[in-house]
Amino acid sequence: MQKTIYVDSILVNAEWKAQQVMIVENGTISDIVDAAKFATGNEMTANSKDLASKVNVDERIEGTVIPGYVDTQVNGGGGVMFNHAPTLESVNTIANAHARFGTTSLFPTLITDDFATISSAADAISQAIRLNHPSIMGVHFEGPHLSVAKKGVHKAAHIRSISDEELAVYTRKDIGQVIVTVAPENVSPEVIQALVSENVVVALGHSNAPYEVVQRALDAGATGFTHLFNAMSPLTSREPGMVGAALLSDAICGLIVDHQHLHKKSAELACKVKSEKGIMLVTDAMAHVGGKQDTVAFFDTEITRTSTRTGEKLTTPDGTLAGSCLDMHSALRHCVNDLGITLKSASVMASTTASCFTCTQRNIGQLVPGTAANFVVLDDKLNLKAVWQRGLNIHNND
């Protein structure tokens, strides 16, 4: 089924184009053409004031169109934590909650847990993939192969080395693209090489490793860092640590721009050093996103949402940061409004870079022929007007 959509302004291959017609076939972009050419069949220039109303299309969109957001770190949403209910129903709830905020592709994230939960999570993702769920690209296992010293809110009792059983889960071929976050002091370069050889994306994080150990993991095939600056060995005068290795490397770094996890200038520094191609925005979202609860159970404790001078944050009773209540659209707005980043660059970090990190750029993360017709519509104040997924308008804020 073909659908034609007129757009005022659209980001195509990281370039702005005005007055375009997107041609969608069965949820996939088949072409994006100049509206004047589409209307006349040649290169004649049409009156810009009349073109939007005169071009014969199925849909007309007023506003700015950018790719739908891609989030590689989503622990929960809609009142549900993936760890607590690793089921297809939970996957649907989480995906729907985040879609309201423009996330059209995501990787449900399982934090450190026991093997039974890991296995159940993989089964849930397998079901979603088999059903061709439009939002689910794969799964992110953030742990349990981390450093106790940098565990954050991860349960120390579950942190461990990789077993053969766990390797078998991570290399399953029915669960989409797999991301595994590991601490390089807990996982050898040989294991990283083995994972990468099976097309698993390996990220480094929750680690107290020195620079040299981190570098060996990068040499073994790790290609990313999980929430840069947070829960990792810092950059100091005589020890670059994981932060230094991340900033110096070509690896892609996840960044939580909620103004709780990072000082604004730290986030700005990372974006300047790494550029839009080296930073992907992530939420590290918990059940609170798209949910009404302020307090949610979390293993043997709870996570509570509170308001601060710089926004909302999530903490455990002892004050430890516990993920975020950030959505991807808010992350993009923070980048533009507070960090001085252009909308184009922020959009790349919110979609394209993540798709490159996860090797899914042929399908998502950009608006070019052959990719899914996943996009968001913004007004001139960066308010989210609408969300489209596979050529269908799934959410409106008008």
Which amino acids are annotated catalytic? Answer: 284
Determine the Cα–Cα distance for residues 341 and 257; give it in Å rounded to an integer. 12
Q: What is the DSSP string of 147-185?
A: -GGG-TTS-GGG--PPPHHHHHHHT-SSS-EEEEEE-TT
Side by side, which strands form the sheet with 224-225? 69-74, 103-111, 138-142, 177-182, 201-204, 224-225, 252-255, 279-281
The answer to whether the annotation marks 142 as part of a ligand binding site is: yes
Q: For residue 288, say whether it is annotated as part of any ligand binding site.
A: no
Q: Which amino acid is at 303?
A: I
CB 254 within 8 A of CB 203: yes
Q: Is 75 annotated as a binding residue?
A: no
Q: Is 227 annotated as a binding residue?
A: yes
How far CA 56 is from CA of 28, 51, 157, 378, in Å, comes to: 20, 9, 62, 23
Q: Tell me which residue has tokens 């089924």.
A: 1
Bond before 317 cis per omega within 30 degrees:
no
8-state DSSP, 380: T
322 is in an annotated binding site: yes
Greatest CA separation for the chain: 68
146 marked as binding residue: no
Q: Is 238 annotated as a binding residue?
A: yes
Q: Is 133 annotated as a binding residue?
A: no
145 assigned to a ligand binding site? no
Q: Is 153 annotated as a binding residue?
A: yes
Distance between CA 299 and CA 308 in Å, rounded?
25
Separation of alpha carbons 51 and 351, rounded Å: 30
| 7 known member of a binding site | no
In the annotated binding site for substrate, the residues are: 153, 230-231, 238, 261, 321-323
In the annotated binding site for Zn(2+), the residues are: 142, 206, 227
In the annotated binding site, the residues are: 142, 153, 206, 227, 230-231, 238, 261, 321-323
